[in-house]
Amino acid sequence: MEYGGFKHNYHALRVLTYLEESKTEYEGLNISYQVLEGVLKHTKLSNEYDISQFLANGNAEHLFMDKSEPTTLEGQVVKIADEIAQRSHDIEDSFSARHLSYDELHSFLSTGKTTELKKLLEDCNNSIRTVKASRIIADEASLLKSMISAKIIDYFVNDVYTQSKINMTNFDETDDFYQAYHKFDKKIITLSDKGLFLLIYLENIINKRVINSSEVASFDGKASLIIRSLFSEFYQNPVKLPDTTLNRIYREMRKNFLSTTRYRNSDITLLRDEITRIHNAVNEEYKQKNKILVRNIIDYIAGMTDTYAINQYHQLLG
């Protein structure tokens, strides 16, 4: 954590305010604070992370870090849409990986509080049966999976719409925070109590049948091995990083230190000596250089797709 740690929603601020560039006038993409806050708070915040390590350009005061929820309605929509999308994708992935079947999900939803979702499943199944009487369905399992996923999204979106209208109607516009900023320090875009219960219920089903499965644990183990191995390889041999990353490292070090060595096209003896000093980090200057190196390696790995990371792993480590 002394290096800043990593969490995807925090790292997204670094991507938007520093790593991605589209104009010469400024670093980053010059994104509004409303959008940055929505990106950051689309999932849970954590007190472990120092926002200054990720917000490369900007003032964290405008992100209202003392508020765990987005302070704009758009940000609150993004957060709840992310939750709904996750449950839908989880169901699709569970069916595709055969960790969960229609009959099993139907059985899980056969309690008094989940009858509405159970009926959605039955409607999808009955619709397919009706169609099968008049035409051949090429991939019945895939069609059923897609229909169930769409029905689940539709159910929760309508629930959010209905409950949020009630919340807006009941909102007190004399609220101090709203008067000061024309923003909200309360959740306005929400599920109903019943909708929230059902969303959590689905999440628990997925956790039991999929997340805790040996197959998923195996994939997570492989992913961890690949990421750790790539980090170690790049840390021990920074010249294996691409030119873009090495240029960022040089730029950041030049901003802070008079004595800086380029990692590309430098005298090999001087370069090895500099890398050794960074690894050993016996004084404050080299501790900071070490931190810059580590963060930029993290930036590079975090930007990889799964396929690219696997290919890099095989290319670099055989």
The 10s digit of each residue's pLDDT in 156-211 is: 999 999 999 999 999 999 999 999 999 999 999 999 999 999 999 999 998 887 77
Higher pLDDT, 112 or 155: 155
pLDDT at residue number 231: 97
pLDDT at residue number 37: 97
pLDDT at residue number 192: 97
Closest CA to 9 of 33, 36, 34, 31: 36
Q: State whether residue 46 is helix, strand or coil.
A: coil
Provide mean pLDDT across the span 225-244. 96
In this structure, are residues 20 and 8 in contact, taking their beta carbons and an 8 Å threshold?
A: no
Q: How do residues 264-286 score in pLDDT, each as one tens digit?
A: 888 889 999 999 999 999 999 99
Cα-based distances in Å from 135 to 79, 98, 169:
41, 26, 48
Q: How do residues 75-124 score in pLDDT, each as one tens digit?
A: 999 999 999 999 999 899 888 888 889 999 999 999 889 999 999 999 99
CA distance 219 to 232: 20
Residues in Cβ contact with 280 at an 8 Å cutoff, skipping those fewer than 6 apart: 286
pLDDT at residue number 3: 84
Query: Is 223's pLDDT higher than 90?
Result: yes
